[in-house]
Structure 1
Amino acid sequence: MHLRIHSNTNEIDWQEAAKLITATLAPRDPAPLRRAFQASQVTVFALDGSKLAGMGRALDDGVFQAAIYDLCLLPEYQGKGLGTSLLNALLERIQGQTVLLYAVPGKEGFYERFGFRVMQTAMARFADPVRMERLGYLRP
């Protein structure tokens, strides 16, 4: 395993990225996924040779707030330190004082190691709230 972490969106095969994020987080089509990453202030990608092993992105106002999205790894790379490397790479480049993120239900402990805490009053408006409730992101 030879991993390389970089931030260049031009080096990414977006078909492969769409398969990665669909397998780990949510269905995404390549073209809108590419636009979302290219519009983000901070992006990170982990390549194992030419294989996309993980990725993530963040939006950042540069002063007060930042939000991390789409941090995901192929299952065979989980538990080997790659998630830590990707999250650290994002956090090093974020300027906002407060950083928000979605944690996949059951993965909160991973983020708590970096100082993230569960919020009492966070709210969201989802395009498909029934799906998000079923996945454990919303209270019934």
Structure 2
Amino acid sequence: MTITWTDTLDTIDWNELSDLYRKAPLGDKPPERLKMVFSNSMFRRFAYEDGVLVAAGRALADGADCSYICDIAILPSHQGRGLGRALIDQLVELSRGHAKIILYAVPGREGFYARHGFRRMTTAMAIFQDQEGAMARGYLARE
């Protein structure tokens, strides 16, 4: 498997990226929304194999205080091959120098990120557009 990594947005097929998130499966992320969020992210990485997008992720960062790693997606046929580890390692390295690096994980995947040095926060809180749905999917605690 020869993987080519890039951070350029110039050649991204936003429909292909949207399809990657759907297959990962990380939900329906419309191409135009992905273009906006990746364009507004300081760091981003895309992995290709034979011209096919197989992994993607990004980090919102302010340059000093906080970098927030999110939207990590690996094509199911490529999961378990070390791409997730490589993607997280690259985004963490790009984020070095920030006072804190925060990561938002899919419930049940916390162990994977713990192997990269991430620890569960005790004070994190969130407001979701769909609070009930977020609770049902395990992202928010019912209080």
**TM-score after normalising by structure 1:** 0.95
Q: What's the Cα RMSD here?
A: 1.1
Secondary structure of 1:36's aligned partner: helix
* Aligned counterparts, 1:63-74, within 5 A: 63-74=64-75
Please tell me whether residue 15 in structure 1 is matched to residue 15 in structure 2. Answer: yes
Q: What runs of 5+ residues in structure 2 fail to find an aligned partner?
A: none
Distance 1:130 1:19 in 2: 26
Distance 2:5 2:118 in 1: 23
- Which residue matches 2:45? 44
Distance 1:118 1:42 in 2: 23
- Structure 1's consecutive aligned runs of 4 or more residues displaced over 4 angstroms after TM superposition are none
Please tell me whether residue 97 in structure 1 is matched to residue 84 in structure 2. Answer: no
Please tell me whether residue 113 in structure 1 is matched to residue 115 in structure 2. Answer: yes
Matched residue pairs, number? 140
**TM-score after normalising by structure 2:** 0.93
TM-superposed CA distance for 1:55, in Å, is: 0.3
Q: What runs of 5+ residues in structure 1 fail to find an aligned partner?
A: none
Distance 2:125 2:17 in 1: 28
Contact preservation (8 Å) 1:66, 1:98: yes
Distance 2:36 2:109 in 1: 27
TM-superposed CA distance for 1:22, in Å, is: 2.5
TM-superposed CA distance for 1:8, in Å, is: 0.7
